[in-house]
Amino acid sequence: MKRAFTPMLAALLLATAPMAASAAEEKVVYHINDASVARVAMNNVNNHLSAAPDAKIVVVTHGKGIDFLLNDAKDDKGEFAPVVAGLKEKGVDFRVCRNTLKARKLEDSAVIMEAKVVPSGVAEIGKLQAQEGYVYLKP
């Protein structure tokens, strides 16, 4: 009886494994190091949330990527702040690299209130992937 039970248990575990995986929370980190793709990236995030409203999304910026999260940032389509605020309301977290701010001689106050300053953008991405199970996307 023991032998028959073991293969049945294995089959049951294999059959339910995909259900457990699909029930896992979707966590994604979007990496932006060039503000010229910020508008496209925000559209990607919005589309992502339309398809997966419960996804946990973090946008991490460093280098030239922080520019759209600075006070009064805009491009030829307008200001970024309302777009960022709208995504923040949907649960998206925005993180800005303090190393970049320091290198550019900017204070934390140069960053819009919807974004959080972290010690290092690249270290933040590494932590999210390695320790928190986030999937990496680069728009």
SS3 91: coil
Residues 2 and 4: their CA atoms lie apart, in Å, by: 6
Q: 24-137 belongs to which CATH class?
A: alpha beta
Instruction: Count CA atoms closer than 13 A to 15's CA, side-chain side.
Output: 6
Q: For the segment 54-88, what is each residue's pLDDT rounded down to a tens digit?
A: 999 999 999 999 999 999 999 999 999 999 999 99
User: How many angstroms separate the first and last alpha carbons of the chain?
Assistant: 55
The answer to whether 30 touches 57, Cβ cutoff 8 Å, is yes
4 pLDDT tier (thresholds 50, 70, 90): low
Q: Where are the domains of the chain?
A: 24-137
Q: For the segment 11-59, what is each residue's pLDDT rounded down to a tens digit?
A: 555 555 554 445 579 999 999 999 999 999 999 999 999 999 999 999 9
